Amino acid sequence: MLHRITTSVFKAVGTPEDIASDVAEVLVDNHLAGHDSHGVLRIAQYLQWIREGRIVPHARPEVLAETTSTALIRGHMGFGQSVALAATDLATTKAKENGAAAVSVVDLGHTGRLGAFTERAARRGVVMFMTVGRGGPPMTVPYGGAEPSLGTNPVAFSLPRGPHAPVTLDYATSAIANGKLMLARAKGEPVPEGAIVDREGAPTTDPEDYFAGGHLLPFGGHKGYALAVIADLLAGPLTGADRYSGAVMETGVFIFAVASDAFRPEPDYLHAMDSVTRRITDVPAAPGFDAVLLPGEPESQTRGVRTADGIPLPAQTLAELARIATGLGLPVDELGLSAPSAGAARATTL
Amino acid sequence: MLHRITTSVFKAVGTPEDIASDVAEVLVDNHLAGHDSHGVLRIAQYLQWIREGRIVPHARPEVLAETTSTALIRGHMGFGQSVALAATDLATTKAKENGAAAVSVVDLGHTGRLGAFTERAARRGVVMFMTVGRGGPPMTVPYGGAEPSLGTNPVAFSLPRGPHAPVTLDYATSAIANGKLMLARAKGEPVPEGAIVDREGAPTTDPEDYFAGGHLLPFGGHKGYALAVIADLLAGPLTGADRYSGAVMETGVFIFAVASDAFRPEPDYLHAMDSVTRRITDVPAAPGFDAVLLPGEPESQTRGVRTADGIPLPAQTLAELARIATGLGLPVDELGLSAPSAGAARATTL
């Protein structure tokens, strides 16, 4: 349902069916994983970017250079989701054929959550690492710095686990998400130590300091800072993204992929994954926790619930979708977007 | 000097000249980088492991399987330093020939500091990622757990920077080193939040709680935990290390390498590295800091000083080396290891 709405909206602004479907697939996948901030909430922004010429909806990725183990892909300002899916699939194919592959992607739009791509590769038997550098103005201060010079520089890593959900690391290298800062501010509560600095670059736990000109810190002190820098350098200087000056992002996407059966037969790999993941999680929980979860397990639990029950959306988001669809002359009722009554607060499941 | 002493000691216990020289090269490199805990202090332990049959000093690595972009190397219980150097060089060659490579290493001894290997690759124009999983008993609790199930699971990442020192991430994924815990205990000072738990798995900042049966935490909360798990899975299930039951370590080494000119000409890459690293560090320092440093820059500063002035060693370490050399019938004076007077506290530079 949400897939059909999203596809229809993007088709209505000149996006070919297959590309619109790619974008919809990634946005819906992000909802299924519980990351609603990377879902249909973004549609309005993407439409705005299309109007401004910052996303070219009919652009298709081009392979500029290729060897058996590498590829350089230019997105020609196309949707980041669609271009990154193509890059993911090319890296997956190369890894399955040759064992290992590195793929760089430049000149593409916003990709959103990287786990959507690395988990797709893992479901096809490929271990994948992916990173995006800084897009837009800097917001994270380097370790020891007083002013920002990094982005949120996300990284993702997925390993296949056969019939089970992949193990997935997928996060921004900054310490805290904007949404959590807004929540702490609303509640008048402090944020954890080591997450933000005030406008002078001094450590603080008061969210008000952040909104008064403060900045984000990398997670985990100098260790998270190092990871943020590596992400920035892989996605920028290594990919060559800076050569494509018309691009939406100053940065690119860097992918590394290796077949999970590159060094041993697949059944042996899966058996060892089962045994080691069990060893890691099979310890008593700490006070305040129910159990030890694998990275990516909270998302796969949410995916289970939402695949069965549907994706709950706040009335406000639905109203926004209906408004967008109406503006584009789409059949709102037929899409299942009957306008909620004014002021409705209940969530609807799509 | 330190290289000659180390080589002589290992040759005296049946190590071929080239392998002894490899081990010495890595141990001296660790001192040059300022990581004295991974230097000649380890010699006594390695000699013990040789006596116990846990390191086979004359063993040479064997390439068990190979494609243009991958290799699986078996160390046959050889010195981790020497086997990992061979793996680093094979991954470097493959990356330079084909763009990207993944190399797994199994059945090898203790490798020590991973940056010694990734920086070697970077100095030859190759971007390298390397990880080792758990060796020995678990000491780090998983996020949300009350008992340890992870090792210190180190990771390293180096990117070339032409004539400049590589940018290098190189750390354990646990929050704090054992040495720092001992120091805090001796001073009666608390350790930072989020570094250790007590024996019940509850957070604490009192180092005494750690020495009373407590455990390490991963750095950076659930984010560092995820990185520790990925390191464990890459080095274990992916490499196939668990198949080699006679091995010293239950884990292996996983390497991924990409040529820095895989996606653009080398001069463009270096120019962009210069520009982006400058952008990251060229911000005012925070209160309490002199400047923003790149990851690996503290080590390269130490390397500069020690390359010029020599490696300072405490008298105790020198006495230990002299004792070992004497025990092996080596010419102590000729090696420059004149026994320091009893109780001497001053450091000597070698």
Window 315-344 of A: residues touching B by CB (8 A cutoff) are none
> Is position B316 within any domain?
no
pLDDT for residue B341: 47
- The answer to whether the CB atoms of B150 and A280 lie below 8 A apart is yes
Task: Confirm or reject contact between B238 and chain A (CB < 8 A).
Answer: yes
Largest Cα separation within chain A, whole Å, is 59
Beta strands in chain A (DSSP E): 62-66, 70-78, 100-108, 126-132, 155-161, 164-171, 196-197, 203-204, 215-216, 253-259, 312-313, 348-349
Task: Confirm or reject contact between A26 and chain B (CB < 8 A).
Answer: no
- The answer to whether the CB atoms of B230 and A68 lie below 8 A apart is no
Which of B272, B283, B293 lies nearest to residue A236, judging by beta carbons?
A: B272
Which of A72, A197, A263 lies nearest to residue B239, judging by beta carbons?
A: A263
B121-143 per-position pLDDT tens digit: 999 999 999 999 876 789 999 99
* Cα–Cα distance measured from residue A245 to residue A250, given in angstroms and rounded to the nearest whole number: 8
Window 212-231 of A: residues touching B by CB (8 A cutoff) are 219-227, 229-230
The list of chain B residues with pLDDT below 70 reads 135, 245-250, 339-348
- The answer to whether the CB atoms of A243 and B70 lie below 8 A apart is no
CA distances to A209, A270, A278, B236 from A125, in Å:
45, 10, 20, 17
> Is position B202 within any domain?
yes
> Is position B199 within any domain?
yes
Residues sharing a CB contact under 8 Å with residue B164, sequence separation 6 or more, in sequence order: none
Residue A221 near residue B304, CB atoms below 8 Å: no
Residues of A in contact with B263 (CB under 8 A): 65, 70, 72, 104, 238-240
Residues of B in contact with A264 (CB under 8 A): 239-240, 243
Task: Find tokens 């659930």 and name the residue.
Answer: B222
Find, in chain B, the residue whose alpha carbon is nearest to that of A290: B144
Which of B142, B224, B276 lies nearest to residue A233, judging by beta carbons?
A: B276
**How many helices (DSSP H) and strands (DSSP E) are in chain A?**
11, 12
Which domain covers residue B197, as residue numbers?
Answer: 176-214
A264: DSSP letter: S
Q: What are residue B259's DSSP bridge partners?
A: B126
Residues sharing a CB contact under 8 Å with residue B3, sequence separation 6 or more, in sequence order: B21, B24, B25, B28
* Cα–Cα distance measured from residue B166 to residue A66, given in angstroms and rounded to the nearest whole number: 27
What's the full length of chain B, in residues? 350
Residue A232 near residue A239, CB atoms below 8 Å: no
Q: What is the dihedral of CA A237, A243, A246, A252, to 10 degrees?
A: -30
* Cα–Cα distance measured from residue A185 to residue A187, given in angstroms and rounded to the nearest whole number: 5
* Cα–Cα distance measured from residue A162 to residue A159, given in angstroms and rounded to the nearest whole number: 10
- Fill in the amino acid letter for B87: A
- How many angstroms separate the CA of residue B349 from the nearest CA in chain A? 30
> Is position A307 within any domain?
no
Three-state secondary structure along B91-117? Answer: HHHHHHHHCEEEEEEEEECCCCCCHHH
pLDDT for residue A148: 96
- How many angstroms separate the CA of residue A213 from the nearest CA in chain B? 15
pLDDT for residue B348: 67
* Cα–Cα distance measured from residue A209 to residue A196, given in angstroms and rounded to the nearest whole number: 8
- The answer to whether the CB atoms of B167 and A233 lie below 8 A apart is yes
Instruction: Give the angle B56-B60-B66 at the CA atoms, nearest 5°.
Output: 135
Residues of A in contact with B264 (CB under 8 A): 239-240, 243
> Is position B190 within any domain?
yes
* Cα–Cα distance measured from residue A105 to residue A132, given in angstroms and rounded to the nearest whole number: 10
Per DSSP bridges, beta strands A203-204 and A196-197 are antiparallel
The 10 Å Cβ neighbour count of residue A61 is 21
pLDDT for residue B146: 92
pLDDT for residue B178: 77
Q: What are residue A131's DSSP bridge partners?
A: A155, A254
A25-65 per-position pLDDT tens digit: 999 999 999 998 889 989 999 999 999 988 999 999 999 99
pTM over 0.80: yes
- How many angstroms separate the CA of residue A137 from the nearest CA in chain B? 12
* Cα–Cα distance measured from residue A48 to residue A33, given in angstroms and rounded to the nearest whole number: 26
> Is position A127 within any domain?
no
Residue A208 has phi, psi (to 5 degrees) of -60, -35
Residue B349 near residue B313, CB atoms below 8 Å: yes
* Residue B25 exposure: Cα atoms within 13 Å on the Cβ side: 18
Average pLDDT of the segment spanning A288-303: 96
* Cα–Cα distance measured from residue B214 to residue B204, given in angstroms and rounded to the nearest whole number: 9
Largest Cα separation within chain B, whole Å, is 60
A99-129 per-position pLDDT tens digit: 999 999 999 999 989 999 999 999 999 999 9
Residues of B in contact with A262 (CB under 8 A): 70, 102, 104, 238
Q: What are residue A216's DSSP bridge partners?
A: A140, A196
> Is position B200 within any domain?
yes
- Residue A198 DSSP SS3: coil
Residues of A in contact with B276 (CB under 8 A): 232-233, 236-237
Residues of A in contact with B68 (CB under 8 A): 68-69, 98
* Cα–Cα distance measured from residue B195 to residue B180, given in angstroms and rounded to the nearest whole number: 11
* Cα–Cα distance measured from residue B159 to residue B20, given in angstroms and rounded to the nearest whole number: 28
Window 68-97 of A: residues touching B by CB (8 A cutoff) are 68-70, 72
pLDDT for residue A345: 42
Residues of B in contact with A282 (CB under 8 A): 149
Per DSSP bridges, beta strands B100-108 and B70-78 are parallel
The enclosing domain of B197 has a CATH number of 3.30.60.50
- How many angstroms separate the CA of residue A203 from the nearest CA in chain B? 9
pLDDT for residue A249: 61
Which of A67, A129, A219 lies nearest to residue B99, judging by beta carbons?
A: A67
pLDDT for residue B20: 98
Find, in chain B, the residue whose alpha carbon is nearest to that of A125: B238
> Is position B181 within any domain?
yes
Window 177-196 of A: residues touching B by CB (8 A cutoff) are 193-194
Neighbour-count burial of A163, counting CB atoms closer than 10 A to its CB (0-12 exposed, 13-18 middle, 19+ buried): exposed
- Residue A302 DSSP SS3: helix
Task: Confirm or reject contact between B125 and chain A (CB < 8 A).
Answer: no
The residue that leads in pLDDT, A192 or A60, is A60
User: How many domains, in total, are found in chain B?
Assistant: 1
Structure tokens at A211: 């909104």
Average pLDDT of the segment spanning A239-250: 77
**The complex's ipTM?**
0.95
Residue B239 has phi, psi (to 5 degrees) of -70, -30
Q: What are residue B63's DSSP bridge partners?
A: B73
Structure tokens at A313: 């959306």
Q: Where are the alpha helices (DSSP H) in B240-314?
A: 266-281, 297-309
Find, in chain B, the residue whose alpha carbon is nearest to that of A289: B144
Average pLDDT of the segment spanning A210-236: 96
Residue B255 near residue B129, CB atoms below 8 Å: yes
Q: What is the mean pLDDT of chain A?
A: 92
What's the full length of chain A, in residues? 350
* Cα–Cα distance measured from residue A121 to residue B33, given in angstroms and rounded to the nearest whole number: 38
CA distances to A191, A197, A218, B220 from A206, in Å:
6, 9, 17, 19
Beta strands in chain B (DSSP E): 62-66, 70-78, 100-108, 126-132, 155-161, 164-171, 196-197, 203-204, 215-216, 253-259, 312-313, 348-349
- How many angstroms separate the CA of residue A301 from the nearest CA in chain B? 17
Residues sharing a CB contact under 8 Å with residue B251, sequence separation 6 or more, in sequence order: B132, B133, B134, B135, B151, B232, B235, B236, B239, B241
